[in-house]
Amino acid sequence: MSAGLLFLRVVVGLVFFAHGAQKLFGWWGGPGLQGTKGWLAGMGFRMPGPMALTVAVSEASGLLFAVGFLTPLAALLMASSMVVAIGSVSWRNGFWITSQGYEYNLVLAVVPVAFAATGPGRYSIDHALNWDDNLSGTSWGVAVLVLAVVGALFVLTVMREPRTAAAA
């Protein structure tokens, strides 16, 4: 079981990190912080500079997730970024990814929540530091889920300009 958790954690964590590095550093053809700032401004987000940094760091926290360090924190940042992505980009397109829906983002949001509930596994820094027993469990999973949804709702309602019927 620990090898399976390691494999899933590393793959999903590195996918998140790669997306964050695109937004943060412009790596792998990404837009960098300035491009991310412009993209967020175009979607009506207030304070697009700090928002760009927040999005980039949230996704780049996948590196913490991949190595299993501070797993609940990484899980919260990752899940939050996906809930915001669902609410701001893909929800209106329906479920299926083939229609640019939220299917993929939902999976990427659920995986870190599940790890917050189960723990990162034996092959993790949290386990090596003997933190995993204190930093995982049902209450951690529920807390990550609730905080991700509440935080995303705040971002989507307070940190975004209201959309007019013509713009929607």
Closest CA to 159 of 20, 66, 52: 52
**What does the DSSP assignment read for 68-125?**
TSSHHHHHHHHHHHHHHHIIIIIGGG-S-GGGT-SHHHHHHHHHHHHHHHH-S-SSSH
Distances (CA, A) of 126 to 47, 65, 79, 146: 34, 10, 19, 22
Closest CA to 157 of 96, 83, 101, 78: 83
CA atoms within 13 A on the CB side of 108: 25
Q: How confident is the model at residue 2 (pLDDT cuts 50, 70, 90)?
A: confident
Phi, psi values for residue 102, rounded to 5°:
-95, 5
Q: Is the pLDDT of residue 167 over 80?
A: no
Residues with Cβ within 8 Å of 161's Cβ and at least 6 positions away in sequence, in order, are 44, 45, 46
pLDDT tens-digit profile of 98-147? 999 999 999 999 999 999 999 999 999 999 999 988 888 999 999 999 99
Residues with Cβ within 8 Å of 71's Cβ and at least 6 positions away in sequence, in order, are 64, 65, 115, 116, 119, 120, 124, 126, 132, 135, 136
Output the six-digit token pair for 92: 């209106």
pLDDT tens-digit profile of 21-49? 999 999 999 999 999 999 999 999 999 99
